[in-house]
Amino acid sequence: MLLSACLSGRPCRYDGSAKESAFATETSMGNRVVPFCPETAAGMATPRRPAEIVGGDGGDVLDGHARVVDDQGTDVTDEFVDGAHRALAAARRNGCTGAVLTARSPSCGCGEIYDGSFDGVLRLGDGVTAALLRRHGINVRTAL
C-alpha cells in the first residue's frame, strides 16, 4: 500500500511538518507500506510555499486544463505532475494496489481539495497524484 509519507510521520508537508494519522496506521496494519511524498520526490524543498490547483482538479491538471500555483503565483504544475508519475512508478514497482493519501492536498487530496483561492475554501476533486493513481486502477482513500 502506498502511503503519503507525511502520514507515516515524515516531516515533508509544505510547512515542514508531518501529519500522522491513526486511520492511516490502522489501515496499513497487515499491509506492506510504502511511504512516498510526490512533492519531495519531484525535488521540491521542505518547507515550501503552499500550493493549490487553479482552474479544476488533479485530472484537469493531468489533461493540461488546470495549473498548480503557489501562494505567490509561481507555477509549480510540472513538479506536481512529475511527482505524481514518480508515485505511480513507486506503486507499480512495489505492487501496490491501494493508497492512503493526505486529505485536501493538491497532490494527494482524495475527493476534496482547496479551490485555488488560498482562502481555505474546499471543492470536490482529487489532487494530481490521486487522480493519476485512480486512472491507473489504484484504489485511493484519504486520511484526515
Partners of 139 in the β-ladder:
98
The per-residue pLDDT for range 19-70, each reduced to its tens digit, is: 876 555 555 556 789 999 999 999 999 999 999 999 999 999 999 999 999 9
What local confidence, expressed as pLDDT, does residue 19 receive? 86
Please give the sequence-ordered ranges of beta strands (E in DSSP) within 12-135, or none if there are none. 34-36, 51-54, 67-70, 98-102, 112-114, 122-124
Axis-axis angle for helices 128-135, 77-93 (nearest 10): 40
The per-residue pLDDT for range 68-104, each reduced to its tens digit, is: 999 999 999 999 999 999 999 999 999 999 999 999 9
Residue 118 has pLDDT above 80, yes or no: yes
117 vs 80, 106, 121, 131, 144, CA distance in Å?
18, 13, 7, 21, 21
Domain spans in the chain, listed from the N-terminal domain onward? 2-143
- What are the residues whose beta carbons fall under 8 Å from the beta carbon of 73, sequence distance 6 or more? none
